[in-house]
């Protein structure tokens, strides 16, 4: 397994030195190396400053005047995926049927629902950042799945058969639904890989309470633009399922999972090999997994804002201490779900110093998306969630805000040491 260095400059310099040894005669290597290392580091420093400057400009699009609106998209349960196409079109998928609603003005207004004309049970969406295609994946049974693919930003869809390989236990992911949409890895050795969270229902493929302790989170990934998929090694905590993942600036992937067996916060782990292996699981000190005091957990979303040079993550879930334990270990209990909230991390998930309540009422599942620069979605954060005044399962809502709204007057320079942002305000 290759573990990437967090310092990309050091990694590149190491490779550069290795190549230099085979080119320059031994006696001249030290002097040549010093000169070329200095030139190399100068170029890298300029590149990193340029990247940070560019990242600062992107970050500023998520700040500015506070912005917040909310709209109801459907009645009843649903709303398990939301993504932003490369042209800025926002697509909200019902998930419990094949309906999708689209906004082409950044989430201000929404067109009437439209059918994808396909089997989308237990499915989830992903944007292929290499081709621009939008995929909605249904894992099917025993590796015989389907995807609905759009090559025109959601205007039309075609159905394709796909093959999914089992994990090392010979088990297949039963569901990728009720999870944060997948992502395209954008750096390093695995650039271009499609990956999304998934769930395996144990050896009996059953969601009955007696089998929930055998469940585990996992991931599906594809290196051929979605034609074939492989299953990662298990997330190393049993009783997990319904998850989110995000690629960080060092190329590692942060995995964030619900757990169904014991009371406590969300489980986190990382991958350093493109999502094939998950290591170092731990409970977050700050992120709740549904109502505090309950063991049943709740689906939540997590994204990294598309700002180069920064690991700004946004997480969504319920923020209430009204949780209760179910009657049996691993059992279901949902009546105290309320207070859907957004949290922000500025250090890749190490801490979550900022949060803001979105809806002070009944709520449930949620997932997230971020806008794209140069489009109507620029600077916006999207949360699709279940809930409303009439109950946690009464409707599907979409909240649209910016980072400035979540900060609610807090100075971002308290959390990010960026001279470009600080100087701009002086």
Name the average pLDDT for the chain. Answer: 89
More confident residue, 348 or 64: 348
Helix, strand and coil content of the chain, in percent to the nearest 5, comes to 15, 35, 50
Which three-class secondary structure state does DSSP give residue 32?
helix
Residue 53: the pLDDT is 55
Residue by residue, DSSP assigns 313-353 as: EEEEEE--S-----SSTT----TT-EEEEEEEESSTTS---
- Please tell me the distance from the alpha carbon of residue 308 to that of residue 138, in angstroms, as a whole number: 32
pLDDT in tens, 148-195: 999 999 999 999 999 999 999 999 999 999 999 999 999 999 999 999
CA distance to 338, 344, 346, 370, 401, per residue, from 415 (Å): 28, 10, 6, 20, 20
* 369, 90 contact by CB (below 8 A): yes
* 113, 153 contact by CB (below 8 A): no
Give the residue extent of every domain in the chain: 8-54, 66-425
Do the bridges between strand 216-222 and strand 194-200 make them parallel or antiparallel, or are there none, so unpaired?
antiparallel
* 106, 82 contact by CB (below 8 A): no
Average pLDDT value for residue range 336-347:
98
Which three-class secondary structure state does DSSP give residue 368?
strand
Residue 16: the pLDDT is 43
Architecture of domain 66-425: 6 Propeller (2.120)
pLDDT in tens, 242-282: 999 999 999 999 999 999 999 999 999 999 999 999 999 99
pLDDT in tens, 48-57: 444 445 567 7
- Please tell me the distance from the alpha carbon of residue 334 to that of residue 327, in angstroms, as a whole number: 12
pLDDT in tens, 8-34: 444 444 444 544 444 445 455 566 666
pLDDT in tens, 204-238: 999 999 999 999 999 999 999 999 999 999 999 99
| pLDDT band for position 138 (cuts 50, 70, 90) | very high
The predicted model scores a pTM of 0.87
């Amino acid at each position: 397994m290759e573990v990437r260095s967090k310092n990309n400059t050091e990694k590149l310099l190491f490779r550069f030195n290795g190549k230099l040894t085979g080119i320059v005669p031994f006696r001249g290597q030290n002097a040549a190396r010093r000169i070329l290392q200095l030139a190399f580091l100068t170029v890298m420093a300029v590149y990193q400053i340029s990247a940070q400057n560019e990242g600062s400009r992107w970050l500023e699009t998520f700040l500015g005047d506070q912005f917040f609106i909310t709209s109801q998209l459907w009645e009843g349960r649903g709303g398990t995926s939301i993504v932003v196409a490369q042209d800025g079109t926002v697509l909200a998928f019902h998930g419990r049927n094949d309906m999708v609603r689209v906004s082409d003005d950044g989430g201000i207004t929404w067109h009437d629902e439209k059918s994808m004309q396909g089997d989308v049970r237990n499915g989830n969406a992903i944007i292929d950042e290499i081709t621009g295609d939008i995929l909605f994946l249904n894992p099917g049974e025993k590796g015989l799945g389907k995807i609905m693919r759009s090559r025109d930003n959601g205007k039309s869809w075609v159905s394709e058969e796909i093959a999914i390989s089992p994990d090392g236990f010979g088990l297949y992911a039963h569901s990728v639904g009720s999870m944060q949409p997948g992502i395209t890895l954008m750096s390093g050795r695995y650039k271009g890989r499609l990956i999304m969270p998934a769930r395996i229902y144990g050896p009996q493929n059953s969601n009955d309470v007696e089998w929930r302790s055998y469940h585990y989170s996992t991931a599906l990934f594809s290196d051929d633009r979605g034609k074939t998929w492989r299953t990662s090694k298990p997330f190393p905590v049993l009783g997990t399922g319904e998850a989110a993942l995000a690629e960080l600036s060092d190329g590692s992937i942060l995995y964030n999972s619900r757990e169904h067996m014991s009371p406590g916060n969300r489980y986190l782990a990382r991958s350093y090999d493109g999502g094939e292996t998950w290591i170092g699981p731990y409970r977050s000190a700050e992120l709740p997994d549904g109502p505090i005091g309950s063991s049943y957990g709740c689906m939540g979303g997590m994204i990294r804002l598309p700002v180069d040079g920064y690991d700004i993550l946004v997480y969504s879930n319920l923020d209430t201490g009204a949780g209760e334990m179910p009657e049996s270990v691993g059992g279901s209990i949902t009546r105290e779900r309320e207070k859907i909230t957004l949290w922000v991390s500025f250090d890749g998930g190490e801490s979550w110093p900022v949060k803001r309540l979105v809806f002070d009422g009944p709520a449930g599942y949620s997932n997230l998306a971020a806008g794209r620069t140069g489009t109507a979605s620029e600077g916006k954060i999207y949360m699709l969630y279940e809930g409303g005044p009439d109950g946690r399962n009464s409707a599907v809502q979409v909240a649209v805000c910016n980072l400035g709204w979540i900060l609610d007057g807090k100075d971002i320079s308290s959390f990010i040491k960026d001279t470009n942002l600080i100087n701009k305000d002086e």
